[in-house]
């Protein structure tokens, strides 16, 4: 699909959740069309009534009664229109309209098991978010302090994260945990890996955070949940209004290919999970979120949000990352064209990578292994020292797992100090030149 086709087809949709797969895919790779569709649905959302009007049984009965009366009273000396008018005006007093404003409805059941009820709750919250300028979320995730923002694991301890988000102006955001900070200033994304002393500046689409980014846009997250609720066959929904808050629970099965289960339970979407949203009854805003991974029928809490502050005083400084002395922002080459790592299998790419490490040939791999940059800072030297001179004991057959777009190559290596490491090297080539990049697993 090209941009013209996208724009032409866009006017056929009045809900973002109805977009065709082709359009969603195009939107993901085209910044202009993504922006265009965001603005388009913003207008649609501004004009779409959230309060439903539903006539009750009496409305219909009143019409039928009026028709019967009109028939009986038909008189050549009285104009039909006048009778109908009088009757219909009289009917105003016996007709009641049930207005379901998605905000309060005392007649609703307190506990509803249905995707439709969940959909309504999400719609209400999306509507409530229209008045939100910013938010600060404090959350705990079971992960490793020093690892990326994607990793989760039930064996890990909780690590506190903070998310700051500005919905107006430049749409700035910042996510931080003790060892990493990532931010967006409206133009670029910045990632600072504190323990590696590595600071990287990417463009606005740099994938420094993936699934966690969903929490930056609650309205988009809820749109996705609405879409899922309409499509997901392995999901169940419960909305409980019996307590002081509204509790919405979703149970769902892992998504992805798990012929090889390496990534099963490594992220929320790649796990059987239970997600519990807590909304305030008064404002319909998200108050809390708990995500449980269900492993062997046991629920394990993986992510927990207990505090979200809305519309508080934030300054530009809240979204900045202040680098320590001696560390500067690195900008990776935008187009990687290391032909050595193109047109080969992931196994061959892994072999090339380890060979370069064993020969300390960093020039050969610097653009496919982003953490080794031109800079000669101390931390890069440490990484080179760690990997340099290793020898490969064995390389296994590559495999795919879960939703990861790349492949994993099992390896066993011996470091120059004699230590042996056995793991899976993660490589991905989803870039324009199909170059294999070393993405993790070291």
Partner 1 sequence: MIEKIVEKFQNQLIRFAFYRIGSLEVAQDIVQDVFIRFFEKKQDFKTMENPKSFLYKSIGNQCIDYHRKNKIEFISIDSISESHFINNSNHYELKAEYEQITHLLNCLPEEQSEILKLRIIDELEFKEIAEITGIPVATAKSRFRYGIDKLKNKIQTKNVVNNEL
User: Which stretches of the chain bind partner 1, using CB under 8 A?
Assistant: 11-12, 14, 39-40, 42-44, 46-55, 59-60, 62-64, 66-67, 70, 80-81, 84-85, 87-89, 91-92, 95, 97, 99, 101, 103-104, 168-169
Q: Identify which of residues 184 and 404 has a Cβ nearer to partner 1 in the complex.
A: 184
- For the CB of residue 311, give the shortest distance to partner 1 in the complex, in Å: 13
- For the CB of residue 181, give the shortest distance to partner 1 in the complex, in Å: 25
- For the CB of residue 15, give the shortest distance to partner 1 in the complex, in Å: 9
Q: Identify which of residues 60 and 421 has a Cβ nearer to partner 1 in the complex.
A: 60
Neighbouring-strand partners of residue 111: 240
Q: Identify which of residues 57 and 296 has a Cβ nearer to partner 1 in the complex.
A: 57
- For the CB of residue 11, give the shortest distance to partner 1 in the complex, in Å: 6
- For the CB of residue 85, give the shortest distance to partner 1 in the complex, in Å: 7
Q: Identify which of residues 57 and 394 has a Cβ nearer to partner 1 in the complex.
A: 57
- For the CB of residue 169, give the shortest distance to partner 1 in the complex, in Å: 5
d(CA 21, CA 26): 9
- For the CB of residue 241, give the shortest distance to partner 1 in the complex, in Å: 17
- For the CB of residue 280, give the shortest distance to partner 1 in the complex, in Å: 17
Q: Identify which of residues 21 and 46 has a Cβ nearer to partner 1 in the complex.
A: 46
Query: Quick one: tokens of 168?
Result: 């107006």
**Residue 306, C-beta contacts closer than 8 angstroms, at least 6 positions apart:** 138, 139, 288
Q: Secondary structure of the chain in the HEC alphabet?
A: CCHHHHHHHHCCCCCHHHCCHHHHHHHHHCHHHHHHHHHHHHHHHHHCCCCEEEECHHHHHHHHHHHHHHHHCCCCCCCHHHHHHHHHHHHCCCCCEEEECCCCCCCCCCEECCHHHHHHHHHHHHHHHHHCCEEEEEEEEECCCCCCCCCCCCCCCEEEEEEEEECCCCCCEEEEECCEEEEECCCCEEEEEHHHCEEEEECCCCCCCCHHHHHHCHHHHHHHHHHHHHHCCCEEEEEECCCCEEEEEEEECCCCECCCHHHCCCCCCCCCEEEEEEEECCCCCEEEEEEEEEECCEEEEEEEEEEEEECCCCCHHHHCCCCCCCCCCECCCCCCCCHHHCCCCHHHHHHHHHHHHHCCCHHHHCCCCCCCCCCCCHHHHHHHHHHCCCEEEEECCCECCECCCCEEEEEEEECCCCCEEEEEEEEECCCCCCCCEEEECC
Q: Identify which of residues 169 and 178 has a Cβ nearer to partner 1 in the complex.
A: 169
Q: Identify which of residues 51 and 337 has a Cβ nearer to partner 1 in the complex.
A: 51
Q: Identify which of residues 45 and 154 has a Cβ nearer to partner 1 in the complex.
A: 45
Give the burial class of 172: count Cβ atoms within 10 A of its Cβ; 0-12 exposed, 13-18 middle, 19 or more buried: buried
Q: Identify which of residues 99 and 312 has a Cβ nearer to partner 1 in the complex.
A: 99
Q: Identify which of residues 3 and 97 has a Cβ nearer to partner 1 in the complex.
A: 97
- For the CB of residue 242, give the shortest distance to partner 1 in the complex, in Å: 22
- For the CB of residue 98, give the shortest distance to partner 1 in the complex, in Å: 9
Q: Is the dihedral of CA 317, 318, 324, 328 positive or negative?
A: negative
């Amino acid at each position: 699909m090209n941009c013209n086709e996208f724009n032409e087809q866009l006017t056929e949709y009045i809900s973002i959740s109805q977009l065709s797969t082709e359009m969603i895919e195009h939107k993901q790779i085209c910044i202009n069309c993504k922006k265009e569709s965001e603005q388009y649905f913003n207008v649609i959302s501004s004009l779409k009534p959230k309060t439903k009007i539903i006539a009750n049984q009496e409305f219909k009965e009143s019409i039928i009664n009026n028709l019967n009366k009109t028939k009986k009273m038909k008189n050549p000396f009285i104009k039909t229109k006048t009778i109908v008018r009088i009757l219909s005006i009289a009917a105003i007093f016996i007709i009641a309209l049930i207005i379901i404003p998605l905000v309060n409805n005392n007649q609703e059941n307190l506990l509803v098991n249905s995707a439709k009820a969940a959909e309504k709750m999400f719609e209400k919250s999306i509507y409530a978010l229209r008045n939100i300028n910013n938010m600060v979320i404090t959350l705990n995730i079971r992960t490793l302090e020093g690892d990326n923002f994607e990793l989760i694991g039930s064996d890990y301890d909780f690590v506190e994260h903070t998310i700051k988000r500005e919905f107006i102006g430049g749409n700035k955001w910042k996510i931080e945990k003790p060892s990493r900070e990532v931010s967006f200033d409206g133009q670029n994304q910045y990632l600072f890996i504190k323990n590696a002393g590595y600071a990287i500046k990417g463009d606005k689409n740099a994938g420094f955070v993936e699934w966690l980014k969903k929490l930056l846009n609650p309205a988009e997250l809820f749109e996705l949940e609405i879409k899922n609720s309409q499509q997901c066959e392995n999901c169940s929904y419960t909305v409980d209004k019996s307590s002081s808050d509204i509790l919405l629970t979703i149970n769902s099965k892992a998504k992805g290919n798990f012929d090889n289960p390496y990534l099963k339970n490594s992220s929320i979407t790649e796990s059987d999970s239970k997600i519990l949203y807590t909304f305030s009854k008064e404002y319909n805003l998200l108050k809390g979120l708990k995500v449980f991974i269900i492993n062997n029928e046991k629920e394990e809490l993986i992510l927990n949000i207990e505090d979200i502050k809305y519309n508080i005083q934030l300054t530009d400084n809240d979204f900045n990352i202040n680098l320590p002395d001696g560390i500067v922002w690195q900008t990776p080459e935008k187009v990687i064209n290391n032909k050595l790592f193109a047109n080969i299998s992931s196994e061959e790419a892994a072999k090339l990578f380890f060979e370069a490490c064993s020969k300390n040939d960093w020039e050969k791999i610097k653009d496919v292994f982003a953490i080794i940059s031109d800079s000669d800072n101390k931390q890069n030297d440490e990484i080179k020292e760690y990997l340099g001179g290793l020898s490969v004991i064995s390389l296994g057959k590559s495999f795919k797992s879960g939703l990861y777009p790349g492949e994993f190559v099992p390896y066993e290596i011996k470091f120059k100090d004699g230590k042996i490491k056995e793991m899976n090297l993660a490589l991905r080539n989803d870039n324009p030149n199909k170059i294999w990049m070393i993405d993790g697993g070291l």
